[in-house]
Structure 1
Amino acid sequence: MSDEPEELPALDLRLTEESLEDLYERAPCGYCSCLPDGTLVKLNQTLLNWLGYTREELVARQGLQQLLTMGGRLHYEMHCVPRLLLHGEVRELSYLLRRRDGSSLPVLLNATLRRDADGQPLLLRATLFDITERRKYEQELLRARAQAEEQREQLGRANALLTTRNEQLTRINADLDSFVYTASHDLKQPVTNMAGIFEELKRSATFHDPEAQGMVAMFEKALLQILSTIDGLTQVVQQQRQLEELPTEEVALQPVVDEIVGSLSQRLGEHQATFSVDLAVPTLRMTPAAVHSLLYNLLSNALKYAQPGRPPLVRVSTAPAAGGEVLLRVQDNGRGIDLVRHGGELFQLFRRFHPEVVGSGVGLYLVNRLVHQAGGRVEVDSLVGVGTTFRIYLPGEAAREPGPAPAGAATQPGQE
């Protein structure tokens, strides 16, 4: 590599032939010179082009202040001139110049004051910069700021309204729970008494009317339905109150599943049902009562709504999901639900989709409520005659290593 310096390209000498007069006249900013009273004595062509005037129309005929808007003129005379006299210069004062056609041009003014040998004001020299684009940008910023302030105020009002509505809903829910609990408690005893009296009536009374037996059966069915509804209401409110009082904890799932399967053992034998359990995530963070109620309602429903003529197969599994969630899946091969017709009513209280099966319509309502209280969500897939899958996403640790299958997981009665 050579150590000799590289030769620079030949300089175009035309670049050094600039005229000082041309530099003044064609400068990218406006120049003007004024007498102490503001009378214009010299302007460059750039400023004349901006204003639309000829040199003859302005020199010795108008003052700098006359080229400003009314507000600018007042500021110039009351603020700019005194500062010039006191300090000898001003910098970056914003004004609007009035063009000949009546339009305005935003500029920044820098000015210096020359004095004679006796210190008396002699000449004012001013430089003006076109800030049209800057003004547009500033105005856009101001509009954006005003819009942001308005949106912030709207958001504040919306948040305040939402807070008020939430407080109202909380009070209403508390009042409704108290009302439901009181009503179900007060109704249960009279209805239980009616059921006892009806049983005694069936045992001791004789009905000769041939239609009486059918009417007795209808009345008994209605009475049982009332008792089931009252029990459902009581269960909903009692469970809600219990969950509000109990702390959450890591609940081991296998013992809960085993206990529920054991409690359903009579139905298992009746339906020849099989449970398949795969708990890749062995715990859920909820209250123990909530975990038990959640699984009991889903597993008992899987048996209750089994497809006639087909042994029930119920699969229970957990797995890590995206975002640190835990996926609990309960899948059956039962009757299924027509989600096109009933999807919007799936979790409503007392809604039932298979009237031929005895039930209260509380189970799925409780499942949905428990999941939402835990900060999760429920997704459902179902085909009539094929089966239903509940996918429940709950908050959990992002990375849980699947442990070995819990002891006894494949040997419990009714499980694979």
Structure 2
Amino acid sequence: MSQEPLPKLDLRLTQENLDDLYEHAPCGYCSCLPDGTLVKLNQTLLDWLGYTREELVANWCLQQLLTTGARMHYEMHCAPLLLLHGQVREMSYLLRRKDGSTLPVLLNATLLRDADKPLVVRVTLFDITERRKYEQELLRAKTQAEDQSVQLARANEQLVSQNEQLTRINADLDSFVYTASHDLKQPLHNMVGLFRELKRTATFHDPEAEQLVGMFDGALQQILDTIAGLTEVVQLQRMLEQVPVEAVPMLSFTEEIVRSLRERLPEDGATFDLDFSAVPTLRLTRPGLHSILFNLLSNALKYAAPGRPPHVQVRTAPADHNHVLLSVQDNGLGIDLERHGRDLFQLFRRFHPEVPGSGMGLYLVNRLVHQAGGRVEVASTVGEGTTFQILLPR
């Protein structure tokens, strides 16, 4: 195998002036006696320091070129190491320039001996200004990161404390709601009984009395429905804390809810289209899933469009690797999301006053879905229907 001949060497490269190499090397050189007295410096080091050769040679010691801290370190640490081992490597010092500024350098030194007697110290100095800037920047970044870490830790402690406080407040509120609703039930039932007896025995001569009686009856029923709804929210919350999550077979589970709804809300011609072939089971607590589906399906029947048989589609589908989608779509009255979107899941919000209700169903659905680690999205067109899409963890 033939090889290309190498180019001829320019002989001028072998004729470099050694003195010039020493004087203008990219690093500083100096030689000093064992006590530090300077006997030789190259031009690079002189240029760095701003002194002339005459000012330093035989007049200054190496230690005098160092800052106070560096000088103490050199005399207490570096000089003894030189005597012991004959060399030191990569000592970081600050040199003092003639103008008072400082220059960060790395110092390497070798001690030459003559018959075991210290003769001269040869010193090489490397300018590490850019390295020092980089190190300082890293140190600032580290300090800033540590400060931010402390701030984040404090913020996290505050969030944990606030979360614990909110948990206690929610528990207290649930207990208060449960106790208040329980204590109000009996007096309200007494009022209902008394009112019914009043209607049975009393005679009203005012032509508007019948309307007023009906309004009062409706108000009483609304109060009873609200109390029942509040009690259901608290009882269901307490129940879910004790009931385990399980894989619920969707088809049989939903069919049972549909049968129950047909008995409670008989709607002529209502049809249900159930398709769970893509995801046959969902992992939730049975009471929680029952409440979610029961509220959405009963709303689909209650808010049916006049003159159009209710048609409800319930489906499951994979959303991504970690989530599944449960959708409930109806062809009912629909909701004006531009007007009511922000209040959709608020407690006691109702968007069709002509239809009886407590305004708690969607609040409960949203609360249960969030408790299960999911979220609810809604699409609706007034007069055409509403679709609830519930994203749940697998």
TM-score (norm: length of structure 1)? 0.90
Counterpart for residue 128 of structure 1: 125
Listed one character per residue, the Cα deviations across residues 352-386 of structure 1 (whole Å, up to 9, x for unaligned) are 11111100111111111111111111111122222
The answer (yes or no) to whether the contact 1:337–1:388 under 8 Å persists in 2 is yes
- Name the counterpart of 1:84: 82
CA distance in 2, matches of 1:259, 1:209: 49
- Say whether the 8 Å CA contact 2:32–2:121 is kept in structure 1: yes
| Cross-structure match for 1:313 | 311
Cross-structure match for 2:102: 104
Match of 2:188 in 1: 191
Taking the aligned partners of 1:164 and 1:295, their CA distance within structure 2 comes to: 35
Q: How many angstroms apart in 2 are the aligned matches of 1:268 and 1:206? A: 34
Matched, 1:138 2:135: yes
| Residues in 1 aligned to 2:268 and 2:46: alpha-carbon distance in whole angstroms | 100
Secondary structure class of the residue paired with 1:71: helix
SS of structure 1 residue aligned to 2:259: helix
Cα displacement string for residues 111-167 of structure 1 (whole angstroms, at most 9, x for unaligned residues): 1222333x3332121110111121112111111111111111111111111111111
Task: Indicate the residue corresponding to 2:376 in structure 1.
Answer: 378
3-state secondary structure, aligned to 1:125 = strand
Match of 1:256 in 2: 253
Uncovered stretches (5+) of structure 2, i.e. residues with no partner? none
State the aligned residue count: 393
> What is the rounded CA distance, in whole Å, between the counterparts of 1:340 and 1:52 in structure 2?
76
Distance in 2, Cα, partners of 1:115 & 1:268 = 109
Q: How does 1:198-213 map to 2 (within 5 A)?
A: 198-213=195-210
SS in 1 for 2:321: helix
Deviations 1:44-84 (A, max 9, x none): 12112222222222222222122111221222222222322
Bigger Cα displacement from structure 2, 243-252 vs 16-25:
16-25
Q: Deviations over 1:295-319 (max 9, x none)?
A: 1111110111112222222111110
> Could you tell me whether the CA contact under 8 Å between 2:376 and 2:391 is conserved in 1?
yes
Matches within 5 A, 1:219-238: 219-238=216-235
Quote the Cα distance in structure 1 between the aligned partners of 2:211 and 2:339: 33
2-structure distance, mates of 1:47, 1:116: 27
Match runs of 1:401-416 below 5 Å: none
Q: Distance in 1 between matches of 2:58 and 2:170?
A: 84
Structure 1 partner of 2:362: 364
Report the counterpart of residue 405 of structure 1 in structure 2.
Answer: none
Give 1:177's aligned residue: 174
Identity of aligned residues (%): 73
The amino acid of 1:35's aligned partner reads L
SS at match of 2:293: helix
AA aligned to 2:381 is L
Deviation of 1:191 (Å)? 0.4
Task: Verify the 8 A CA contact 1:378 1:392 in the aligned structure 2.
Answer: yes
Cα distance in 1, alignment partners of residues 15 and 89 from structure 2: 32
CA distance in 2 between partners of 1:261 and 1:86 (Å): 94
- The amino acid that maps onto 1:150 is D
Structure 1 runs (4+) greater than 6 angstroms displaced: none
Contact 2:27 2:127 in 1 (8 A): yes
Structure 1 position 266, deviation (Å): 5.2
Matches within 5 A, 1:268-307: 270-279=267-276, 280-307=278-305
Superposed CA offset, 1:267-287 (max 9, x none): 775342222222121111001
Q: Which has the larger displacement, 332-341 or 279-288?
A: 332-341
Q: In the aligned structure 1, how far is the partner of 2:82 from the partner of 2:296?
A: 87
| Alignment check: 8 A CA contact 1:348 1:365 kept | yes
CA distance in 2, matches of 1:226, 1:4: 104
SS of the residue corresponding to residue 355 of structure 2 reads: coil
Worse-superposed segment, 82-91 or 150-159: 82-91
Q: Secondary structure at the match of 1:112?
A: strand
Corresponding residue for 1:323? 321
Report the RMSD for the aligned CA atoms in angstroms: 1.7
> Residues 365 and 152 (structure 1 numbering): CA distance in 2 closer, same or farther, change over 3 Å?
same
User: 3-state DSSP class of the match of 2:35?
Assistant: coil
The whole-number CA distance in structure 2 between the counterparts of 1:267 and 1:292 is: 15
Q: Distance in 2 between matches of 1:266 and 1:286?
A: 26
Q: Equivalents in 1 of 2:261, 2:222: separation in Å?
A: 22
Which residue of structure 2 aligns with residue 351 of structure 1?
349
Q: What is the aligned counterpart of 1:161 among 145, 148, 158?
A: 158
Bigger shift: 248-257 or 85-94?
85-94
Distance 2:195 2:65 in 1: 105
| Alpha-carbon distance in structure 1 between the residues aligned to 2:8 and 2:308 | 97
Q: How far off is 1:216 after superposition?
A: 1.2
* Aligned: 1:239 with 2:236: yes
Read off the aligned partner of 2:290 and give its amino acid letter.
H
1:199 maps to a residue whose letter is R
> 2:147 matched to 1:150?
yes
8 Å Cα contact 1:268-1:274 kept in structure 2: no
Q: Give the superposition deviation at 1:234.
A: 0.7
